[in-house]
Structure formats: C-alpha cells, structure tokens
Amino acid sequence: MTTNHSMPLVTQRLHERNREALEAMIGAEANANHYREQVAKSGLPALKRLAHIGLGDSHQPQHCRRVLLAVYNSYAWPLNLTSLRVLDDDLRRAALAVIEWSAVSDRELHEYLPDGHELMQRFAAIEKEEP
C-alpha cells in the first residue's frame, strides 16, 4: 500500500496562500485607514474654510454654499459643476477635499461644525433667498 506524499504539500501550499491572502487584506485595510485619515486631516480645515467663506455675499460664497449644501443633501441641492469651475483655485481645492472627505467619512460633515445643521439651514435659506 502506498501513501500519497503530495497531500501534505498541497495542504501546506493552501495554508501559505491563505496566509498571504490574509496579509494582503490586512495591508489593504491599513492602507484604506491611512487614506481616510489623510483625507479627514485635509478635509476638516477645508470644510471650515468653505463654511467661513459661505457666510459672505459675493459670488465665491454662493458657490461655497452650493458645494456644502450638495454634500449636506445632494437630493435637494444637486451640485452644478460650474460651481467648482468658478471658484478660485484654493477654494476649488478645498471644495474637492470636502467632497472627497464626505465619501469616506463615517459621520455627516455638518456634524464637525458647531451648529452645523443650523448653518446648513441658513445656507439653504440664503440660496432660496429667504429671510
């Protein structure tokens, strides 16, 4: 009677592949976490900047408000990409950072601002030209 000597090798290769797959998944998770941390690190100052500028009354604040309202409620406030095109370069970068952050954040972005919900309601009233 002969024994199959290749069976332990197959089992060993399967264990090795499983270990490699697990290490790859752990590495991808670490990379994703690092990416989210970096996006949040740049996103919060950008959010604060857009919110501050949005309180003004020229064309730049209007477009900052539109970006923030789209992040807040895109169904009610869809983003017209012209809003990005007319922003100054630094505000456009801030807007894109906020949009990117909103895609990976585990919270609604207005929650990072003091009275953020009320601020978004104020921005909506301004954009609707309500008192």
Q: Decide if 30 is inside a domain.
A: no
Query: CB neighbours of 124 closer than 8 A, spacing ≥ 6?
Result: 69, 76, 77
User: 27-31, 37-41, 74-78, 97-101: which has the minimum mean pLDDT?
Assistant: 27-31
- Whole-Å CA distances, 77 to 55, 57, 66, 127, 128: 17, 19, 7, 10, 11
For residue 108, what is the DSSP state?
A: -
Q: Decide if 117 is inside a domain.
A: yes
pLDDT in tens, 6-32: 677 888 888 888 888 888 888 878 777
Q: Decide if 25 is inside a domain.
A: no
Query: CB neighbours of 59 closer than 8 A, spacing ≥ 6?
Result: 86
Q: Decide if 27 is inside a domain.
A: no
Q: Decide if 95 is inside a domain.
A: yes
Q: Decide if 17 is inside a domain.
A: no
Domains held by the chain: number:
1
Q: Decide if 84 is inside a domain.
A: yes
Query: CB neighbours of 13 closer than 8 A, spacing ≥ 6?
Result: none
Mean pLDDT of 36-54: 92
Q: Decide if 118 is inside a domain.
A: yes
Q: What is the pTM of this model?
A: 0.75
pLDDT in tens, 81-122: 988 999 999 999 999 999 999 999 989 999 999 999 999 999
Which domain does 52 fall in, by range? 40-127
